[in-house]
Chains A and B, each alone.
Chain A
Amino acid sequence: MQKKMAYSFPDEVLEHVFSFIQSDKDRNAVSAVCKSWYEIERWCRRKVFIGNCYAVSPTMVIKRFPEVRSIELKGKPHFADFNLVPDGWGGYVLPWIVEMAGAYPWLEEIRLKRMVVTDESLELIAKSFKNFKVLVLFSCEGFSTDGLAAIAAGCKNLRELDLRESEVDDMSGHWLTHFPETCTSLVSLNISCLGSDEVSFSALERLVGRCPNLRSLRLNRAVTIDKIANILRHAPQLVDFGTGNYATELRPDVLANLTGAFSSCKKLKSLSGFWDVVPAYLPALYSVCSRLTSLNLSYATIQSPEIIKLVSRCPSLQRLLVLDYIEDSGLEALASSCKDLQELRVFPSDPFGVEPNVSLTEQGLVAVSLGCPKLQSVLYFCRRMTNAALVTIAQNCPNFTRFRLCIIEPKTADYLTLEPLDIGFGAIVEHCKDLRRLSLSGLLTDRVFEYIGTYAKKLEMLSVAFAGNSDLGLHHVLSGCESLRKLEIRDCPFGDKALLANAAKLETMRSLWMSSCTVSFGACKLLGQTVPRLNVEVIDEIEPPGSRPESFPVDKLYIYRSVSGPRFDMPPFVWTMDEERKILHSEFRHLL
């Protein structure tokens, strides 16, 4: 019966049908139907997403999917963003590029996040992939403008070069001159992270001028305000623009020029940049405001009145990133002007200050939750919170998909009742049934984890710091959160019991990070040796964990599932809990 089914559709027909299925989840489901579908699907999969570069080896990926055109890789754990992962930990992309250079000559797209990329990798990309189109390096490091020059010179059909938030060794701004005069294919260029004080501006201008399809351009701080107008006039078709440096003394002619340049950009919907912005230059943007859907003011040190003036002119705003200079009054204005707001991120202007320097409190967030019915995603830094406010916010916004609250002082209680914020966060998970991402802060007991385990059934990522009383807290999360993929914990009294009791759960997740908790070395060893497809890595920069008693807690712990076994590129301060591999590890180190 099954054979008949397989022959009733020729492979090409099935392939054609499968080509309409883009999402990874669906593709994976298709490949699990039967052997022949698995075979057909694997030959026509063009896009692969690997959430943890150590979960699988390049060889295995290439073997299963021989015709890939687009690959996305993520490396370091999320907490690397906050300096919790020591330098040299890993996440090297070179081994992947080396193997793909041979196996995927028609590779078009590489997207990397939190990986170490070297100039050698970039040169290899430029040399190996004749039809290369898209390079996105999100929060990457390890390369210089020399590598970028190789990409510019070698990739004749480059469409997208996006270096967002990466750390680039700036040798000079001249890498831009390596784009040949024949390059007209750019659609997106993001160089906002570059520090270079000399960006070869004339090369940039010429490049922008000859790329008629350029839709997204994000400049860096080196491009001064008088040059911004020139660039805009070369690319009035821009949809997304990141300005350069706005700092200068007020000159009416520059202001007029800029105003004219912005008003000629009829398609502009997204703005960012604004370093050192002088308020007097903000009116230049007014012609664009009514169309703006995304505004990133998080580098701008302008005060609340100026922010309000700008934001109240943006009724179509869907996304706002801003510093806490906006204050509660600014958030109230936002709530009444921007009814389409979906995402709000408020960053602290003085995070290490001892006293508050702005009047931004829980009231601001409550106001936005009340006034903006489409609000889905929140990142909010503040210095005080109450359970009542969180309950109100939860009731106003049952559609939250991402909620990240950071009360700057660890273990801050409800400032009115002095109680823990368990009930508040409990209300968030109870009301927001589609919540996928949650970050906790403030004073929290095991109770909040009970709420999370009970209600947060769609939660995929949870970040916890300075919270909980006992292993029960961790147990609630691991046993209750069915959709959990990523869990990161720091400075919590969670130890062996919950971890060992829920060992099987760990194989269903992408990764678990625990630092400054109370998990013992012995428990780590047990986990690593008994759960087959789990890599258990202990990070300790001071001394080998084995030199202390087994009951001693480890400093940092990173556990992730993998089908390719422990990795070989660990630095000396990372220990894998697999005794057999440890010997191999030191044997291979001379090869690195």
Chain B
Amino acid sequence: MPNMEFQLGLALPTPNIIMGFDLNNHGLDHLKDIGGFSGKSKRSFEQAFGKFKQECKTKTLLLWSGQPNEEEDQKDQKKTTFSTIDENDAEEVDQVVGWPPIKTWRKKMFQQQHRVCRIENNRVAGKDNGRSIYVKVKMEGVAITRKVDLRLYHSYQTLTNSLITVFAKDKKCADDDYTRYILTYQDKEGDWLIAGDIPWQNFIRSVQRLKIVRNWS
């Protein structure tokens, strides 16, 4: 390993996350694909890893019921609040100045797109002048959590098609697998429901986050 003694004040520590995990563990194959985390994210990576391990064992029962373990979710909430704030607050103090090298006006655009007034659950609401509504989307078995702007879509069909196409590549599903997945969402009351029952406009106003789960019926 190279000489690290020249770490300057603004430099971030070298990530060394992968060492801590047994990459030969079959179930972690796709997690291995994600590298390059900072020391700070180690915690969130670990707890995502922990959650995944649990999901692996209890997949069929937990997720099919459409109601993920509530206790687990609360723990998630406490832990992810910190990293969620990290993700979205571009004014975070210990960010390195001028890094990554993105022009100021582009940064302003990102800030506008990801602006958080208050973080409630996982919904990211802007100052709301009719612009973006970002919600988190997870697909079971895929470690990447994406964020999607609901304003880009005008119906359940277009949303579902786009999401499943994107996530399916991570899972490397065959095309006919698409029918095996359904879209669920968590509403303002915290309940997990199957998407599609209420009119689209009502849906985008109440959805907090999305999850794509396997349809076992």
Contacts and interface: CB of A to CB of B under 8 A. Distances in A.
Nearest to A141: B104
Contacts of A247: 130-131, 151
A406 B151 contact: no
A491 B10 contact: yes
Interface string B104-128: 1111011001100000000000000
Contact of A415 (B35, B86, B95): B35
A357 B100 contact: no
Listed residue (B41, B45, B48, B92) with the most chain A CB atoms within 10 angstroms of its CB: B41
Interface stretch (B56-64, B66-74, B163-171, B190-198): B163-171
Contacts of B130: 247
B99 A82 contact: yes
B92 A250 contact: no
A354 B10 CA distance: 17
A81 B98 CA distance: 8
B90 to A, nearest CB: 5
Interface stretch (A59-67, A115-123, A256-264, A300-308): A300-308
B106 A409 contact: no
Interface residues of A, number: 68
Given A352-B87, A359-B170, A410-B96, A384 B36 contact: yes
A516 B2 CA distance: 20
A358 B144 contact: yes
A20 to B, nearest CB: 38
Contacts of B102: 82, 347-348, 351
A408 B12 CA distance: 11
B115 to A, nearest CB: 13
Interface residues of B, number: 66
A14 to B, nearest CB: 45
Nearest to B142: A359
A132 interface: no
B18 interface: yes
Nearest to A305: B165
A279 B87 contact: no
B162 A306 contact: yes
A177 to B, nearest CB: 26
B51 interface: no
B36 A409 contact: yes
A268 to B, nearest CB: 24
A418 B103 contact: no
Contact of A361 (B3, B33, B110, B162): B33
B90 A352 contact: yes
B18 A415 contact: yes
B131 A469 contact: no
B170 A354 contact: no
B105 A355 contact: no
Contacts of A348: 100, 102
Given A301-B132, A357-B146, A381 B100 contact: yes
Listed residue (A306, A359, A408, A439) with the most chain B CB atoms within 10 angstroms of its CB: A359
Nearest to B164: A305
A82 B101 contact: yes
Contacts of B77: none
Nearest to A308: B165
Given A84-B98, A165-B105, A327-B166, A354 B132 contact: no
A280 B158 contact: yes
A303 B15 CA distance: 29
Contacts of B36: 383-384, 407-409, 412, 415
B154 A250 contact: yes
Contacts of A420: 2
Contacts of B34: 355-356, 383-384
Nearest to A354: B41
Contacts of A466: 11
A350 interface: yes
B54 interface: no
B100 A327 contact: no
A84 B11 contact: no
B151 A352 contact: no
Contacts of B1: 418
B37 interface: yes
A249 interface: yes
A285 to B, nearest CB: 16
Given A81-B103, A165-B105, A412-B15, A352 B92 contact: yes
Interface of B: 1-3, 6, 8-12, 14-15, 18-19, 33-38, 40-41, 44-45, 48, 83, 86-87, 90, 92, 95-107, 109-110, 113-114, 130-132, 144-149, 151-154, 158, 161-162, 165-166, 169-170
Which 4 pairs between the two chains have the least Cβ-Cβ distance?
A: A82-B98, A493-B6, A415-B35, A354-B41
Given A81-B103, A279-B162, 9 more contacts: A82-B97, A247-B131, A301-B132, A305-B166, A354-B38, A354-B44, A356-B144, A384-B34, A491-B10
24 contacts: A84-B98, A247-B130, A247-B131, A276-B131, A277-B152, A279-B158, A303-B166, A306-B162, A327-B169, A329-B169, A347-B102, A347-B106, A348-B100, A352-B87, A352-B95, A354-B37, A355-B44, A359-B170, A384-B36, A410-B11, A411-B14, A412-B35, A439-B101, A468-B6
